[in-house]
Chain A
Amino acid sequence: MAAKGEELAEKIREISVAEFFEKNRHLLGYENPTRSLLTVVKEAVENSTDAAEEAGILPEIKVEIQQLAEGRFKVMVEDNGPGIPSSKVPVAFAKFLVGSKFHRLRQSRGIQGIGIHGAVLYSQLTTGKPAKVLSSLGGNDPIHEFELMIDVTKNEPIVLSHRTLPNPKGWHGVRVELEVEGRYVDKITQSVPEYLRQTAIVNPFATLHFKGPNGASFTYRRRVEELPRQPKEIKPHPHGVELGLLRRMLSNTSAKTLLGFLTTEFCRVGRTSALEICSLASLNPGQHPQKLSGEEVLRLHKAMQSAKLMGPPTDCLSPLGEQMLLEGLKREFRAEKYVAVTRPPAVYRGNPFQIECGIAYGGELKEPVQILRFANRVPLLYHQGDCAFTQAIREVDWRRYGIPQDDFPKAPMVILLHFVSVWVPFTSEGKQALACYPEIMREAKLALQDAGRELSQYISRKERLREKQLRMGLFERYMPELAESLSKLTGRPKEEIMAQLERRLDEEKG
């Protein structure tokens, strides 16, 4: 959650980065070798897809994992994004920019946490090897190859080498190579192949290539030649601001008065609302934001929560949309019925969000039900039991839609839920489960119910048809017996009676 993120950010400033990482690696997705390898891949892939998408480029991501020794791997992730200017590469990969993203409320994959820097540091700490980064802006820009490490005491990049390579084909994008300790698995839900498979489902506009250490390789080709709408960046809404963030916003702002601070740094706060907040907090609107006492900040925070304000704008969200959801499901599952629902935007704690639900039913699918959870197009593979989505699936009455249920619905189907927001309320920094806010639970259940209704129409139609066929089959079975008996009673040929019964059966069928 945001509070946790804030705390972490504060801590990182206070202690050395390495120390912090060592102490908190379990919270950051590096608690065991299997998950660590997955987290490294995940951070790199999400960085890459975000970069391409923000530049309006249909992403094409290559992931390769090589095994170097027992428990030691080389992870390579390459994108076709815009690339990073060579002067910015060291900072982009080898300096924790904690806090920078917290001001920026924009729907993106790497929305919080310490992202690719964590992966670079993990690599450095487990193997002592530098990260290799290749980047080019394309066109005449050569390829810049860096070897980078993080100065863990100063949180500064160390550039071990920087050389330029010819770029005859005008390649643009970024390629990261990291040597890490880890363990590679491919048969379980929490594996790199499964992560990529699920990523492909909610990113049908992306092409993903994979080469595994055991020689396995596959490609998910894009099914949609169009990117979803670009999400817009918004300012925080006063209702959703945590105390820590407010403190830092106050100290970073260039505004000279509290009034100016409130009206420029937040959305939905005009002069009138700002004055109302100040009066609620018994604060002078002309006061300098950096000169508030700790106690005054508390009052301000409380007043901001209770002020009557318009909800945040919701056009900042970019859901996949029902069509793309359907494409994603069809790419991966051979089902007989696909249903997709995109709910209208809603708000929890000042944060706009939107929920999407997709269901693939029947066909080659088997029981038990598969649950796929996503947040901002990223699969959530761990902590399924703690997630608001899992809870919502349990709470829906599936029997109403003709689907048996004990705890979970029992049907050969896949249920996909996608949470879209400028801020994802994860239950922990590991970013794997959504918190059960009432608004989120409500919307998730409504999405499931909408989808369930559509599905139930299909199921009952199918059921009716099946019953009818069964009925007709029954008559068909008994017809020869009846014809035989009637033939004995009347002396008329059996075939003649059969023909007439068949005519009558056709009418029944029609």
Chain B
Amino acid sequence: MKRKDEVIEALEALGAKILQEIERGENPSLEVPIRSLSNVRYNPETRMLELGSERAKRYFFNVAHVRKFVQTVEAAALSKELKEVGKHLSLREAFYRMKRTLPGSDINLVDEQEESNQAIEDLELITNLSREKLHFNANKMGSVAGKVVIEDKGDVVDWSKLGSGGWSIPSNVEEIVFKEVKARFVLYMEKAAEWERLHEDRVWERLNCVIMCSQGQATRGVRRLLQRLHLEHGLPIYVLTDFDPWGFYIYSVLKFGSIGLAHISEQLAIPGAKFLGLTADDVERYDLKKHFIKFEEVDLRRLEQIAKYEWFKDNKEWQRQFKLMKQMGAKVELAALSSKGITFISEHYLPEKLRKQEFLD
């Protein structure tokens, strides 16, 4: 109940500030931190991406600003309404809620979902409250299984007793309460296919862990759930991705945060996360070279970009990986491990890696 008040208070304060400016005969304005690479810094102390102090002022009586200004205020009003009725809207639904034609014109308040998404992100930045707290949900996409019992909206859920599908991770995991956590670590993987392999092999039972996946870049709900398990229950997070620049970047986002969401790195990033594989050494050791997928031009460019990121720049282990990958000029998928045997990943690869504590930081 108290948290709700915090959000409503922030939204009301925003409205009151704008109203005050109008009453004083000023041009009503909003101050929005700038969300771009130029205003994002890596903080070596916290090992997270942080938003810089650059702010843009947006005015209502400004031809270039008026649209975004009204969209953002509308997002705030919508958020307050959602709070008050205790409902959530997906980003898509929020788009339709905001999409309407201005009277006496052919102008729509928002034309594309990208616009309402941005208005909501701006609102996050202005109020310093996450999208989830503002009652907007992203797409959910992610599964989890393991020896953990939670309570969600009054339902008690045991992640080890949910059949072959596992528990589907909601977009908002703020209200989830952990009842019992027996698992000792979390295996996070990039692809649902790998998760299904591990689940079928009951890896979570054998290794006493939690297995979790999203699809491609981890959704906010997944990242937040990982972070909560890490921070609240001290579970180490081990990340499994393909051996390619894109896989490395998935790990990078989980660990350090992303440029687009640098303002909420604190709520999402997990500086303690470790990279389990695939590494260049795995490729050598498990004889995966015959499954090389040759680099395209974009792959090489992306690799070079990543190698230059501040948070990787001085990391010798990672630079070695980048260098080896560049030499190979190819990528390898996790799934390639199945060439060694159907359950090779579950029975050999993972236990071996874990036993040897072969992690990249």
Chain A residues near B (Cβ < 8 Å): 471, 474-475, 477-478, 480-482, 484-486, 488-490, 492, 497, 500-501, 503-505, 507-508
Residue B16 at the chain A interface, CB threshold 8 Å: yes
Judge whether B80 and A488 touch: CB under 8 Å.
Answer: yes
User: How far is A503 from B80 in the complex, measured between Cα atoms in Å?
Assistant: 28
Residue B289 at the chain A interface, CB threshold 8 Å: no
| 30 pairs, A vs B, C-beta closer than 8 Å | A475-B61, A475-B66, A477-B105, A478-B69, A480-B103, A481-B74, A481-B102, A482-B28, A482-B60, A482-B69, A482-B70, A482-B73, A485-B70, A485-B73, A486-B18, A486-B73, A488-B15, A488-B81, A489-B76, A489-B77, A489-B80, A490-B12, A490-B16, A497-B19, A497-B22, A501-B22, A503-B25, A504-B27, A504-B61, A505-B61
List B contacts of A501 (CB < 8 A).
22
Residue B181 at the chain A interface, CB threshold 8 Å: no
Residue B186 at the chain A interface, CB threshold 8 Å: no
List B contacts of A481 (CB < 8 A).
70, 74, 102, 109
Judge whether A477 and B107 touch: CB under 8 Å.
Answer: yes
User: How far is A338 from B270 in the complex, measured between Cα atoms in Å?
Assistant: 73
User: How far is A131 from B323 in the complex, measured between Cα atoms in Å?
Assistant: 107
List A contacts of B104 (CB < 8 A).
477
Contact-residue size bin, chain B (C-beta under 8 Å from the other chain): 20 to 34
Residue B63 at the chain A interface, CB threshold 8 Å: yes
Judge whether B22 and A489 touch: CB under 8 Å.
Answer: no
Max count, chain B CB within 10 A of own CB: residue among A474, A486, A507: A486
Interface string of B38-82 (1 = CB under 8 A from A): 000000000000000000000011010011011001101100110
Judge whether B76 and A480 touch: CB under 8 Å.
Answer: no
Max count, chain B CB within 10 A of own CB: residue among A488, A503, A507: A488
- 9 nearest CB pairs, A to B: A489-B15, A485-B77, A488-B77, A490-B15, A485-B73, A477-B102, A485-B74, A478-B70, A477-B105
List B contacts of A505 (CB < 8 A).
61
Residue B173 at the chain A interface, CB threshold 8 Å: no
- CB within 8 A of A486: which of B19, B27, B61? B19
User: How far is A504 from B76 in the complex, measured between Cα atoms in Å?
Assistant: 23
Residue B11 at the chain A interface, CB threshold 8 Å: yes
Describe A's contact surface by its main secondary structure: helix
Q: Which of B1-31 contact A (CB under 8 A)?
A: 11-12, 14-16, 18-19, 22-23, 25, 27-28
User: How far is A474 from B106 in the complex, measured between Cα atoms in Å?
Assistant: 11
Q: A484 — nearest CB in chain B belongs to which residue? A: B77
List A contacts of B11 (CB < 8 A).
489
Q: Which of B81-138 contact A (CB under 8 A)?
A: 81, 102-105, 107, 109
Max count, chain A CB within 10 A of own CB: residue among B22, B25, B67, B107: B22
List A contacts of B27 (CB < 8 A).
504
- CB within 8 A of B66: which of A478, A480, A492, A497? A478
Q: Given known contacts A481-B109, A488-B80, A489-B80, is B66 in contact with A474 (CB within 8 Å)?
A: yes
Judge whether B22 and A500 touch: CB under 8 Å.
Answer: yes
Q: B23 — nearest CB in chain A belongs to which residue? A: A500
User: How far is A485 from B105 in the complex, measured between Cα atoms in Å?
Assistant: 19
- CB A111 to nearest CB in B, in angstroms, measures 58
Judge whether B12 and A489 touch: CB under 8 Å.
Answer: yes
Q: Given known contacts A482-B70, A488-B77, A488-B80, is B60 in contact with A475 (CB within 8 Å)?
A: yes
List B contacts of A492 (CB < 8 A).
19
Q: A480 — nearest CB in chain B belongs to which residue? A: B103
User: How far is A492 from B61 in the complex, measured between Cα atoms in Å?
Assistant: 21
- CB B39 to nearest CB in A, in angstroms, measures 27
Q: A471 — nearest CB in chain B belongs to which residue? A: B63
Judge whether B19 and A485 touch: CB under 8 Å.
Answer: no
List A contacts of B74 (CB < 8 A).
481, 485
Max count, chain B CB within 10 A of own CB: residue among A477, A485, A505: A485
User: How far is A262 from B44 in the complex, measured between Cα atoms in Å?
Assistant: 101
Judge whether A504 and B22 touch: CB under 8 Å.
Answer: yes
User: How far is A508 from B62 in the complex, measured between Cα atoms in Å?
Assistant: 10
User: How far is A497 from B80 in the complex, measured between Cα atoms in Å?
Assistant: 18
Judge whether A485 and B25 touch: CB under 8 Å.
Answer: no
User: How far is A501 from B26 in the complex, measured between Cα atoms in Å?
Assistant: 10
User: How far is A482 from B103 in the complex, measured between Cα atoms in Å?
Assistant: 13
- CB B8 to nearest CB in A, in angstroms, measures 10
Q: A507 — nearest CB in chain B belongs to which residue? A: B25
List A contacts of B61 (CB < 8 A).
475, 504-505, 508
List B contacts of A488 (CB < 8 A).
15, 77, 80-81
- CB B29 to nearest CB in A, in angstroms, measures 12
User: How far is A488 from B69 in the complex, measured between Cα atoms in Å?
Assistant: 16
- CB B131 to nearest CB in A, in angstroms, measures 18
List A contacts of B109 (CB < 8 A).
481
List A contacts of B67 (CB < 8 A).
478
- CB B78 to nearest CB in A, in angstroms, measures 8
- CB within 8 A of B73: which of A474, A489, A503? A489
Q: Given known contacts A488-B80, A489-B12, is B60 in contact with A480 (CB within 8 Å)?
A: no
User: How far is A474 from B80 in the complex, measured between Cα atoms in Å?
Assistant: 26
User: How far is A468 from B277 in the complex, measured between Cα atoms in Å?
Assistant: 61
List B contacts of A504 (CB < 8 A).
22, 25, 27, 61
Max count, chain B CB within 10 A of own CB: residue among A481, A489, A503, A508: A489
Interface string of B266-281 (1 = CB under 8 A from A): 0000000000000000
Max count, chain B CB within 10 A of own CB: residue among A477, A497, A501, A505: A477
List A contacts of B28 (CB < 8 A).
482
List B contacts of A480 (CB < 8 A).
102-103
Known contacts A478-B60, A486-B77, A504-B61, then 8 further A-B pairs from the complex at CB < 8 Å, ordered by chain A residue: A477-B102, A477-B104, A481-B74, A482-B28, A482-B69, A488-B77, A489-B11, A504-B22
Q: B14 — nearest CB in chain A belongs to which residue? A: A489
Q: Given known contacts A485-B73, A485-B77, A486-B15, is B23 in contact with A478 (CB within 8 Å)?
A: no
List A contacts of B63 (CB < 8 A).
471, 474
- CB B116 to nearest CB in A, in angstroms, measures 13
- CB B337 to nearest CB in A, in angstroms, measures 54
User: How far is A505 from B23 in the complex, measured between Cα atoms in Å?
Assistant: 12
Q: A501 — nearest CB in chain B belongs to which residue? A: B22
User: How far is A152 from B73 in the complex, measured between Cα atoms in Å?
Assistant: 94
